[in-house]
Amino acid sequence: MSRVQVDRERCVGSGVCESLAPDVFEIDDEGVLQVHREEPAADDLDGVRDAVQSCPARALALAE
């Protein structure tokens, strides 16, 4: 099973992850990343992989 890892010290709250995998990621009203599913469903994995690769701060990882 794959698991989302977030380096909160690096996250800048850009929202790229939320736009690519909205069922998994959300930037709250204070600009803080919320992860709704640390173990994303199989149908969310492509979006999560895209989010990991597209994160401008390199704050995301996917442990598989």
d(CA 64, CA 57): 21
Q: State the residue range of the domain holding 41.
A: 3-63
Look at the chain and report how many structural domains it folds into. Answer: 1
Interval 20-56: pLDDT, tens: 999 999 999 999 999 999 999 999 999 999 999 999 9
**Is the model's pTM score more than 0.75?**
yes
The enclosing domain of 10 has a CATH number of: 3.30.70.20
Closest CA to 57 of 21, 19, 6: 6
d(CA 13, CA 47): 17
